[in-house]
Amino acid sequence: MEEGCKSTLPPKRIQPKITDFENPYRLLYCSSKCDKDGVIEEIEKGVSPNLADHNKRTALHLASCEGCTKIVEVLVEKGADVNSVDRWGHTCSKLLLRSDLVIASQPLSDARKFGHEEICKILEARGGTDPEFHLLNVGLGFQIPCCEIDHTEVDMDERTLIGEGSYGEVYLVRWRGTEVAAKTIRSSIASNPRVKSAFVMELAMWQWLRHPNIVQFLGVLKHSDPLIFLTEYLPNGNLYDILKRKGRLDPPTAVAYALDIARGMNYLHQHKPQSIIHRDLTPRNVLQDEAGHLKVTDFGLSKIAQERDAYGYKMTGGTGSYRYMAPEVYRRESYGQSADVFSFALIVHEMFQGGPSNRAEEPEKVADKRAYEDSRPSLSSNVYPEAIKTLLQECWHKNRESRPSFGDIITQLELIQESLRDNEAMEGHCSCAIL
Ligand SMILES: Nc1ncnc2c1ncn2[C@@H]1O[C@H](COP(=O)(O)OP(=O)(O)OP(=O)(O)O)[C@@H](O)[C@H]1O
């Protein structure tokens, strides 16, 4: 404590912020990470076991997906609703199946989908139920595991344009009384049956994913041409626009945002049986929800962009992704999860900086210099806490094996977040005492 700082007053209370993760995210995060102590700690603090995120995904949904039997036991013991239905209700009751995998919005369905037998038994014993599924065909000539939505349920005439990406336009539409985003895939792209089927297969994978920091996929519009799929609507737009509007973020907000992205990415990388590598993690592919939390979107789709390249289509790098591209990806070498860690570091750097440090330079030139001259953004400004500087240097290390995993990044960011809170509390305490 600083000299002259009296300890007679209680520390100034830090007002909860939109980016505060204490509630409910810690319960949800601990549940998805099978952290039993963390879950018990949160419940003992008074957090409801039925507390849910913006999409009404509860801790039980997450633990059931991840196969965290011990967490499921604790939650049901503490009164968690085994039949809680998320925001999308039974939206995927019409499911396209190739195997006996299922998608649904209830914990039992989540557990069954991932083959967590023991959890299924626990939930069934407590009266857990499972929605109904059907075999359907999306009109591609073969059956694929993808949730299909009847076009009569979405009034495309009432659509509002939100933006445009390299695949097509994105609209705000109403579906069953809820505002959702409708992403269109240009006919020029989707008319190629191979590209279309690659897209739908990626979407099919996306539908299985459920995490508070991953944009929720809802389904593909039946017989749509251009191909249209629905995801949840994130009203606050993307991180690129947020940074353009707000400029540099204060360290607690930047760290909270970084944690959001890292948690979403960790979920993708830990996905079983196959890890999901994003390949195109950029501020434009990170969206903000009403509560101020960030969610990662469009993973896997860049794979198709590469395929499109082979067919003569434009690569996503042209829209700015080059700025975030790992050197090994740019050099067209083999790459893995650590390529996403590299992109993540550049995004975090921008959050502290208020935007890209080399705006004037062509994105491709930037990527080239990173790949062949080991050029990296400057960390000389005093806006970066020391621990953040160290983390960024590790994450954009030229040797990809030296980059940390997202699990490690989360641990480090949580420590940084804690120390920022301590500093804030200490500063508040000191200024109160002095006043
Ligand atoms: N689910 C969503 N909710 C709200 N806005 C969205 C949603 N998805 C995309 N958008 C907005 O629509 C615009 C276009 O998004 P899209 O994902 O098609 O392209 P992009 O990510 O900007 O570029 P690219 O396709 O090259 O990656 C962006 O401004 C984005 O913020």
- Domain shared by 401 and 318, yes or no: yes
210, 233, 256 - which closes a domain: 233
316 lines ligand 1 (CB under 6 A): yes
Confidence of residue 133 (pLDDT cuts 50, 70, 90): very low
- Domain shared by 245 and 368, yes or no: yes
- Domain shared by 64 and 196, yes or no: no
User: Is 13 within the bounds of a domain?
Assistant: no
Does residue 4 register a pLDDT over 60? Answer: no
What's the pLDDT at 89?
A: 53
What's the pLDDT at 105?
A: 58
- Domain shared by 397 and 257, yes or no: yes
183 is in an annotated binding site: yes
Q: How far apart are CA 270 and CA 131, in angstroms?
A: 26
CATH number at residue 78: 1.25.40.20
Q: How far apart are CA 67 and CA 44, in angstroms?
A: 23
- Domain shared by 362 and 297, yes or no: yes
- Domain shared by 340 and 382, yes or no: yes
Let me know if 99 is exposed, middle or buried by CB neighbors in 10 A (0-12, 13-18, 19+): exposed
Q: Which of 8-12, 72-76, 168-172, 176-180 has the lowest mean pLDDT?
A: 8-12
Q: Is cis: bond before 24, omega within 30 of 0?
A: yes
Q: How far apart are CA 120 and CA 126, in angstroms?
A: 10
User: Is 47 within the bounds of a domain?
Assistant: yes
User: Is 98 within the bounds of a domain?
Assistant: no
pTM of the model: 0.69
- Domain shared by 313 and 210, yes or no: no
User: What are the angstrom distances between the C-alpha of 87 and each of 91, 218, 220?
Assistant: 9, 11, 17
180, 214, 233 - which closes a domain: 233
User: Is 331 within the bounds of a domain?
Assistant: yes
CA–centroid distance, 254 to ligand 1, in Å, is 21
Of 191 and 70, the structure prediction assigns the larger pLDDT to 70
ipTM of the complex model: 0.97
User: Is 37 within the bounds of a domain?
Assistant: yes
205, 233, 261 - which closes a domain: 233
Most confident by average pLDDT, 185-189, 332-336, 347-351, 420-424:
347-351
Average pLDDT over residues 237-242: 96
- Domain shared by 397 and 268, yes or no: yes
Q: How far apart are CA 295 and CA 263, in angstroms?
A: 9
- For the CA of 320, the closest atom of ligand 1 is 26
What's the pLDDT at 431?
A: 54
User: Is 158 within the bounds of a domain?
Assistant: yes
> Which tens digits make up the pLDDT trace of 378-389?
998 788 999 999
Q: How far apart are CA 252 and CA 427, in angstroms?
A: 14
What's the pLDDT at 130?
A: 65
- Domain shared by 270 and 215, yes or no: no
- Domain shared by 394 and 265, yes or no: yes
**What total number of domains does the chain contain?**
3
CA–centroid distance, 145 to ligand 1, in Å, is 24
What's the pLDDT at 301?
A: 63
Average pLDDT over residues 241-250: 95
- Domain range for 83: 23-89+105-118
- Domain shared by 316 and 193, yes or no: no
Percent of the chain with pLDDT over 70: 78
- Domain shared by 268 and 327, yes or no: yes
What's the pLDDT at 161?
A: 95
Average pLDDT over residues 241-248: 95
CA–centroid distance, 220 to ligand 1, in Å, is 17
- In one-letter notation, the amino acid at residue 291 is A
Confidence of residue 97 (pLDDT cuts 50, 70, 90): very low
User: What are the angstrom distances between the C-alpha of 390 and each of 339, 398, 401?
Assistant: 18, 14, 16
Catalytic residue list contains 280: yes
CATH number at residue 268: 1.10.510.10
**Backbone phi and psi for residue 228, each to the nearest 5 degrees, phi listed first:** -125, 130
Strands of the sheet with 217-221, listed across from one edge: 148-149, 217-221, 227-232, 178-185, 169-175, 160-164
User: Is 112 within the bounds of a domain?
Assistant: yes
User: Is 310 within the bounds of a domain?
Assistant: yes
Q: Alpha helix (H) ranges present in 146-294?
A: 187-190, 193-206, 239-246, 251-269
Mean pLDDT for all residues in the chain: 80
Of 102 and 290, the structure prediction assigns the larger pLDDT to 290
- For the CA of 162, the closest atom of ligand 1 is 12
What's the pLDDT at 82?
A: 85
